[in-house]
Amino acid sequence: MPQTQPRFSGGMMCNNGRREIGGALLLALVATIAGWPAAVKAQREDETLRSGEKISTRTLQPPLALQNVATTLRTMGRADLASRLIRDYGTAKVRLGDPGSRATTSPPIIVPLVTNRRDNIMTLDKKQLTTQCDTKGTDRNAVTDGTLGWALTVVHEYVHMEQDNPTQTARFENAGWREAVHENQSWMRSVMSKVSEAERMPNSAAKVARLRELSRQLELLRVVHQATINDLKEEIAAGHVGAGQEWPTIEAGTSADLNGVVASANTLVAANIKNTRDTIARIERELAGTAAGARSKPAPSQKPQPAPPPKAELPALQTAGRWVLETKPIYTRPADAATVTGIVTTSTGFRGTVAMNDGPSELWATFTPPPSSLKPGEVLTIDLSTNYDIQIDISTYHGWGIHKKRALNNGARSATVSERLALPMPPYERRNNETVDITIDAQVRGGWWMAYWQYVYKWEPTAP
């Protein structure tokens, strides 16, 4: 079912095309089987993505536009999805063509009760992708509105790749859109964290360039986020996405007010960009003053003037105190009752029965609770265990970066996979009169369901 193209090149409208079954089913099946070897025919090549990673597998060579999308995914912290995109293109699970819309995901032929998610093929519109993401003649490392929009389209479509016979209905589209919005907001938070890291660099032209680039990326993410929400509204109006749902927000909460979702993201990003521009202007003034001072040293007969007293530098670090834990309400994405049953969600895990390709499976994931309080220098340790998939992110908006650990089981569901994330707690930092908190995000994600936990450590100073 073809759609009009999104108004904005960074938007991510897509649908899940499905071919109808008619009298030509047998001929279509024969044609598909006959054409498959040609589709996956490949040559062994050593490719180098812009990130420098070597791809040494028997693959079809991805075009530049697709490599650019993969690089943007890596830049935004989704190296796992970037590698999967390139790998799936090599095995013809991802293809470029003319699907009648921006992107579609479905099996080659819909045969109820026979085909399943293992047969899904993602088809991206070759003309749109090439026009918006082929950056020949420009900086090949540049993140653009086009590569960001297509990166989110890929995020959306990979949700459908994990669904059985996906169609453009709320049952399937709700999960895809929710994942894309959540990912877009996660990238904005990540870039703001990188801005804080860059602010800690010594003043230099390189620091200014880094801050400018991050500010540019953040503004593009904001624009793409607004375009995505606009497209989402149209999909809700068309009946392809369910109405009245809760959607992720930039503050890692949820809201049914999509206008409010956009407004809160715009406000936070605008404030961050303004602060960054003010910082850049201050650094450039200081650098210009240093250069001017070097050119106008006093003559030997002149008495140098005493330097003014140095200004107090921010941020101020505090070690006399402790980090105290706050727990946020658990967010769960509504599950499809035909796919997921018996869900039990606790403060540190979940368990439920999920319809898989080989029959129902009881999936579970758990993590150890964060301590109620920690002093700077004490180690925050979280153990993850699962027979499916769970990821922990620990971050602050200012200075500490983002630390991730993921436990993923690619084998038998009877096996347990465990990981540990251990980080020493930093001292408290107050920058530009903004309070700095440490957040812990835990999430179990899939095409069928998602659970999301958040813990926040706030600083409690020791009384003098």
Residue 234: give the domain boundaries: 25-271
β pairing state of 340-346 and 316-318: unpaired
Highest mean pLDDT: which range of 252-256, 259-263, 270-274, 360-364: 259-263
122 and 227, same domain (yes or no): yes
pLDDT for 406-434, tens place per residue? 777 766 777 888 988 888 888 887 654 55
Q: Given 246, 271, 296, which residue is the final one in a domain?
A: 271
Claim to verify: residue 332 and residue 425 sit in the same structural domain? yes
Please choose, from the candidates 75, 119, 67, the residue with its C-alpha nearest in 3D space to the C-alpha of residue 96: 67
Structure tokens at 40: 């996956």
Residue 22 pLDDT greater than 50, yes or no: no
Percent of the chain, pLDDT > 90?
Answer: 32
Predicted pLDDT of residue 46: 31
Query: Can you tell me the distance from the alpha carbon of 237 to that of 212, in angstroms, rounded to the nearest whole number?
Result: 38
Within this chain, do residues 263 and 330 fall inside the same structural domain, yes or no?
A: no
In a domain, residue 295? The reply is no
Dihedral of alpha carbons 77, 405, 250, 16, sign: positive
370 and 232 housed in the same domain: no
Question: So what's the pLDDT on residue 253?
Answer: 79
134, 264: one domain: yes
Q: Are strands 94-97 and 121-125 parallel, antiparallel or unpaired?
A: parallel
Q: Is 349 within the bounds of a domain?
A: yes
In this prediction, residue 56 has a pLDDT band, given cuts at 50, 70 and 90, of very low
Q: Are residues 101 and 244 in the same domain?
A: yes
Residue with tokens 């109620």: 372
Q: Which helix (H) or strand (E) holds 450?
A: strand 450-461
Tell me: do 334 and 410 sit in the same domain: yes
34: left (phi over 0), alpha (psi -120 to 50) or beta: alpha
Is residue 211 within 8 A of residue 199, CB to CB? The reply is yes
Q: Residue 20 pLDDT more than 60? A: no
The predicted pLDDT at position 52 comes to 38
Identity of the highest mean pLDDT range in 50-54, 114-118, 149-153, 264-268: 149-153
What is the average pLDDT value for the chain, to the nearest integer?
Answer: 77
* Cα gap 83→90, rounded to integer Å: 11
Asked whether residue 84 falls in the same domain as residue 232, the answer is yes
For residue 286 the two structure tokens come to 């200081």
Whether 15 maps to a domain, the answer reads no
Write the CB contacts of 277 (distance below 8 Å, at least 6 apart in sequence): 215
Which pLDDT belongs to residue 33? 40
> Does residue 12 lie in a domain region?
no
CB contact set of 33 (below 8 Å; sequence gap of 6+) = none
215 or 142, greater pLDDT: 215
Examine the fold and report which residue of 271, 302, 336 is the final residue of a domain before the chain moves on. 271
Domain membership of residue 278 (yes or no) is no
Distance, CA of 198 to CA of 456 (rounded, Å): 23
Q: What is the pLDDT of residue 309?
A: 57
pLDDT score for 127: 92
Sequence-ordered list of residues with C-beta below 8 angstroms from that of 11, at least 6 positions apart, any chain? 149, 224, 227, 228, 230, 231
Residue 295 has pLDDT above 80, yes or no: no
Residues 326 and 261 in one domain: no
226 and 326 housed in the same domain = no
- Peptide bond before residue 315 is cis, with ω within 30 degrees of 0: yes
Is 185 in the same domain as 79? yes
DSSP label of 410: -
Residue 300 lies in a domain: no
Domain count, the chain: 2
Residue 20 lies in a domain: no
Is 230 in the same domain as 336?
no
The confidence band for 235, taking pLDDT boundaries of 50, 70 and 90, is very high
Question: Considering 271, 306, 330, which residue would you say is the last residue of a domain?
Answer: 271
pLDDT in tens, 305-354: 666 555 444 345 677 889 999 877 776 655 555 567 777 888 888 888 87
Q: Is 239 inside a domain boundary?
A: yes
- What is the pLDDT averaged over residues 254-268? 92
The Cα 175–Cα 260 span in angstroms is 20
- Whether the per-residue pLDDT at 241 is higher than 90: the answer is yes
